Chains A and B, each alone.
Chain A
Amino acid sequence: MAASDTAAGWRLSGEPKLTIAAENVRLRYTVQRTSGGRWWRRGQATAVTGPVLRGVTLAAREGEMVGLVGLNGSGKSSLLRVLAGLQPATSGTVVASAQPQLLGVSAALVPELSGAENIWLGTLAMGMTPDDAYFAKERVEQLAGLGASINQPMKTYSSGMAARLRFAISVAADPEILMIDEALATGDASFHERSKEAMHGLIARAGTVFLVSHAAQTIEEMCTRALWLDAGTLIADGPAGEVANMYRYYAHSIAIGKNEAAKRALVSATEAHPPRLSTN
């Protein structure tokens, strides 16, 4: 079922429309780093700002489910926030065919209100009429699958439950561009399946989904395409399976301390799947 939906998503390539494009996005951040980055080694020990994104250029079209892989701190979440317009880039442009919906790992919507009331408020906030919201409510509750907790205040929810609810609300609006930042990592197996189906439904209806995860397996299972970010630079851009595999090898090399092998993996990944758009 899910697989055929993915295929349907790909078939849209009859005339795929561009949904989002970013050009030369740079971002500097005020950070307190404990371990050294490249700018640190250059001897700027007193500097507290550092580059997070070093000129990322990318484009995605409808029917694509794009995974973002990379180590912690490689700029995945920052890139999503910039793409969604929640964080102004230091320089660079992001244009899109719709306002992206970003699902981050953040707190409850209105903590004092119950899950059901948050669904009501959220669907209305997105612009639904009360009639639509009434019909959407059941679908949202089903997708979130929170059972009786739906009537409890959202402040009592665990982070996983809150993420499920917010995901379900966002999907109900059928957004053209949905961005998910690790938010679904906390879900259990049954929710995993339902969310996968929901996302494939979105891309089958000419949407684009961005998914951040540092678990390569998630990207491999869910996405059609993967972007690999390393230290704020786009390293590779290609079919999800291959890029995720290369990333897995890289992350493993780092983990066991084979830095040389890791470096070679980076280079070969760029050679095999270079970023599609030229950065100037």
Chain B
Amino acid sequence: MASPSQRPEPRGLRKKWRRAWSTRDAGADLLSASLRSELQEQYGDLSHLRRVGSRPPLREYFTELFDRRHFIWAGARGEAVTRYANERLGVAWYVLRPVLDAAFYWVIFGVVLQMGLGMDNFVAFIIIGVFMFQPTSRAITSGSSLIRNSKSMIRAFAFPRASLAVSLVLRDLLSSIPAMGVMFIAIVAIPPHEMPSAAWSFFPIILLLQLMLNLGFALLFGWLGSVMPDLSQAMSFASRLLMYASAVIFPIERFIDHPVALGIVQANPLYVVLEMYRTVLIDGAAPAAGDWLELILWAAGLLLVGFTLFWRDEERYGRE
């Protein structure tokens, strides 16, 4: 008879999975005593058993998430490339879409409604607003359908589901890089020309904080969307509301007299982000310390709340 030593050693991935599996809570105790003894008699040791579908402990979750970094990257890149695959102009839409958007809003709000009167550079105001608003708005709208759209991946493979949210945020970053290029060119080229200044070096830092914010939103809405699938129907409305409340296309504070309403609008994280981008790019000044603090708190808070809620329901996402 074969001795235990002849059993083939687990290789590569299986070894990895064994280690990951061993971090879950022991499962044999979940069986009734009579069955446990019956199984022990027939099969010996039961200490390697874990409850199926169980969520890893927090530390292990991060380890596995880090382990999936190539998956996250491949997912982000693959979907960014295929987003406009059915269009004849293909990737050109990454530039065309935001250009058309900005032109549209500029015509309506700048030329027709004359909302830019009394502002130094209304074109730059709109362009920065529209271009930098889009990644966050996409994180929210696609976040709400994240679990539903990834169901077949979730059911086919075991991986930390939060990697889907990270992938989503990365994908939006990748697909908005061309738009950001257009944005910089546009605000320099269109009069009154904004010239690069030292303050522009704050841009990547604000962008990083915005990405954190986006990830927090994606996780939060990913969880919300899995609890309430109907949410994705209301999302286009919500993102429009957010757009007007964040001063994306016109300075909303001019139209609000009520101090409480104004306070709410100005506490909105996206309002703060756009305000900071404009301070840096148009005024060429460093954003106020209060803005920094507010944005950091928002980003960290949303990330914490979003991740906690998302992680807590980890076991549920594969179910129907």
Q: Do A and B bind each other?
A: yes
Give me the interface of A with B, judged by CB distance under 8 Å. Answer: 11-18, 20-21, 23-24, 57, 59, 61, 83-88, 93-104, 106-110, 112-113, 117, 120-122, 124-130, 132-133, 153, 166, 169-170, 173-176, 205-206, 277-278, 280
A12, A106, A206: the one within 8 Å of B155 (CB)? A106
B80 CB to nearest A CB, Å: 11
Q: Is the CB of B43 within 8 A of A59?
A: yes
Q: Is the CB of B14 within 8 A of A17?
A: no
With a cutoff of 8 Å between Cβ atoms, the chain A residues found around residue B38 in the complex are: 277-278
A174: nearest chain-B partner, CB-CB: B14
B32, B46, B153, B155: the one within 8 Å of A110 (CB)? B153
Q: Is the CB of B31 within 8 A of A102?
A: no
Between-chain CB contacts (< 8 Å), 30 pairs:
A14-B1, A23-B31, A86-B155, A86-B319, A93-B51, A94-B51, A95-B50, A96-B50, A99-B53, A101-B158, A104-B155, A112-B79, A113-B82, A117-B78, A120-B78, A122-B153, A124-B68, A125-B153, A125-B159, A126-B157, A127-B67, A127-B159, A133-B70, A166-B156, A174-B12, A175-B14, A175-B17, A176-B18, A206-B8, A278-B35
B83 CB to nearest A CB, Å: 8
Given known A-B contacts A17-B43, A130-B70, A85 and B315 have beta carbons under 8 A apart: yes
* Chain B, 10-35, CB within 8 A of any chain A CB: 10-14, 16-18, 20-21, 27-28, 30-32, 34-35
Given known A-B contacts A106-B152, A112-B85, A280-B34, A121 and B13 have beta carbons under 8 A apart: no
Is B71 located at the chain interface by the 8 A CB criterion? yes
Interchain Cβ contacts within 8 Å, total number:
182
Q: How far is the CA of A100 from the CA of B157 in the complex (A)?
A: 9
- Residues 103-116 of B, flagged 1 when their CB comes within 8 A of A and 0 if not, give 00000000000000
Q: Is the CB of A23 within 8 A of B67?
A: no
Interface range, B side: 35 or more
Give me the interface of B with A, judged by CB distance under 8 Å. Answer: 1-4, 6-8, 10-14, 16-18, 20-21, 27-28, 30-32, 34-35, 38-39, 42-46, 48-54, 64, 67-68, 70-71, 74-75, 78-79, 82, 85, 152-153, 155-159, 315, 318-320
With a cutoff of 8 Å between Cβ atoms, the chain B residues found around residue A130 in the complex are: 70
Q: Is the CB of B39 within 8 A of A17?
A: no
With a cutoff of 8 Å between Cβ atoms, the chain B residues found around residue A94 in the complex are: 51-52
A167 CB to nearest B CB, Å: 11
Q: Is the CB of A98 within 8 A of B318?
A: no
User: Given contacts A18-B42, A98-B18, A125-B68, could you give 16 more A-B pairs where the C-beta distance is less than 8 Å?
Assistant: A11-B1, A13-B1, A14-B6, A15-B4, A15-B7, A85-B52, A93-B31, A95-B28, A95-B31, A97-B50, A99-B52, A101-B158, A110-B152, A126-B159, A132-B12, A206-B7
Q: Is the CB of B7 within 8 A of A277?
A: no
Q: How far is the CA of A125 from the CA of B74 in the complex (A)?
A: 9
The 6 closest A-B pairs by CB, nearest first: A85-B53, A85-B52, A95-B27, A124-B71, A18-B43, A14-B2
Given known A-B contacts A174-B11, A278-B38, A124 and B74 have beta carbons under 8 A apart: yes
Q: Is the CB of A17 within 8 A of B45?
A: yes
Q: Is the CB of B320 within 8 A of A87?
A: yes
Q: How far is the CA of A28 from the CA of B312 in the complex (A)?
A: 25
With a cutoff of 8 Å between Cβ atoms, the chain A residues found around residue B8 in the complex are: 205-206
Given known A-B contacts A95-B49, A98-B17, A102-B155, A127 and B68 have beta carbons under 8 A apart: yes
Given known A-B contacts A95-B30, A174-B12, A206-B8, A85 and B318 have beta carbons under 8 A apart: yes
Q: How far is the CA of A273 from the CA of B100 in the complex (A)?
A: 71
B149: nearest chain-A partner, CB-CB: A110
